[in-house]
């Protein structure tokens, strides 16, 4: 971890945390988000509109802020796990895990041997921290496997019991789709509500943090449901909402 706010400890203590996703290929947007006061930022390497170079620039632009910088890596890609950490990420969100084996593979990919399978080549981390980045890497990265499939729900107790993870991150839209519902960050369908409650309970019993993707309108509800970390903004949605509000306000004055 860097010298910034220790998000890993914040999760372990169960302290509420608010974060934002970055999907736009713009390091200036990342820099602005880093100064906004979020507890964590997620550079989205799964659905974001950028490649490795864009991810690296966005991590660097975010570093002056106090937010922890996580990267959502492509599913099932141990190579991407190592590269994200080499580029300076403080942690990872690992999407589309289905069982404990998937989670154990992600944990191993984030750790050097003999504890894991990560190759040593920290690049930016080495420049910033020197060889200390080797010793500090063991258990330092925040790791949040993403629960968003029916298989993951079926294997939830085993997933939350995997050593080395700090919590699970719920992808509500994919979870809703997997349950045969329309994609939405929230719905009243009992099967969806019960799934969220079950995830929170399983995390609490395992001593790890439940986290979820949301927006600002859902933040209070999700914290009340027991989630520790709630993503309350995505950069592209913030930009669109700002433009829409400006057009609405200006059209009304014409």
Instruction: List, for residues 220-229, the tens digit of each pLDDT value.
Output: 999 999 999 9
Could you list the beta-strand ranges (E) of 37-160.
40-44, 68-72, 91-94, 142-147
Beta-sheet pairing, 229-234 with 17-22: parallel
- The answer, yes or no, to whether residue 181 has pLDDT greater than 50, is yes
- The pLDDT, as a whole number, for residue 81 is 95
**Do 38 and 67 touch, CB atoms closer than 8 A?**
yes
Q: How many CB atoms are closer than 10 A to CB 116?
A: 20
What is the pLDDT at residue 253?
72
Structure tokens at 34: 């880093």
- The beta-strand segments (E) located in the chain are 17-22, 40-44, 68-72, 91-94, 142-147, 167-170, 209-213, 229-234
Domains along the sequence of the chain with CATH: 7-252 (3.20.20.60)
What is the model's pTM? 0.93
pLDDT digits (tens, 9 = 90+) for 107-131: 999 998 888 888 887 777 666 666 5
| Spatial separation of the C-alpha atoms in residues 46 and 13, rounded to whole Å | 28
Q: Does the pLDDT value for residue 3 go beyond 80?
A: no
130-163: pLDDT as tens digits: 655 665 455 689 999 999 999 999 999 999 999 9
Residue 47 a catalytic site member: yes
- Among 19, 22, 25, 23, which Cα is nearest to 37's? 19
254 vs 115, more confident: 115
Instruction: Indicate whether 70 pLDDT > 70.
Output: yes
Nearest-angstrom CA–CA distance, 14 and 223: 11
On average, the pLDDT of the chain sits at 92
Predicted confidence at residue 1, as pLDDT, reads 38
* DSSP classification of residue 3: S
Of 7 and 112, more confident: 7
Burial 180-202 (b: 16+ CB within 10 A, else e): eeeeebbeeeeebeebbeebbeb
Q: Distance from CA of residue 203 to its chain's centroid?
A: 16
Instruction: Name the catalytic one among 47, 138, 221, 240.
Output: 47
The token pair at 187 is: 């719905």
Angle, nearest 10°, between helix axes 52-62 and 27-34?
30
């Amino acid at each position: 971890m860097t010298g910034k706010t220790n998000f890993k400890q914040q999760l372990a203590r169960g302290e509420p945390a608010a974060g934002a996703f970055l999907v736009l290929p713009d390091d200036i947007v990342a820099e602005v988000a880093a100064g906004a006061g979020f507890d964590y930022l997620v550079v989205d390497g799964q659905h974001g509109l950028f490649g490795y170079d864009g991810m690296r620039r966005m991590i660097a632009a975010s570093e002056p802020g106090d937010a922890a910088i996580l990267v959502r890596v492509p599913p099932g890609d141990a190579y991407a796990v190592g590269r994200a950490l080499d580029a300076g990420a403080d942690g990872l969100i690992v999407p589309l895990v289905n069982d404990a084996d998937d989670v154990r593979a992600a944990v191993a990919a984030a750790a050097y041997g003999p504890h894991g399978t990560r190759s040593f080549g920290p690049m930016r981390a080495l420049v910033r921290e020197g060889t200390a980045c080797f010793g500090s890497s063991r258990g330092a990265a925040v790791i949040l496997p993403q629960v968003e499939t029916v298989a993951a729900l079926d294997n939830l107790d085993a997933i939350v019991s995997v050593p080395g993870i700090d919590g699970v991150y719920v992808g509500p839209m994919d979870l809703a789709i997997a349950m045969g519902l329309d994609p939405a960050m929230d719905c009243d369908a009992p099967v969806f509500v019960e799934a969220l409650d079950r995830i929170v309970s399983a995390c609490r019993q395992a001593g790890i943090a439940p986290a979820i993707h949301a927006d600002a309108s859902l933040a209070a509800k999700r914290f009340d449901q027991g989630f520790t970390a709630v993503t309350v903004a995505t950069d592209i949605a913030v930009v669109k909402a700002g433009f829409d509000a400006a057009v609405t306000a200006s059209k009304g004055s014409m």
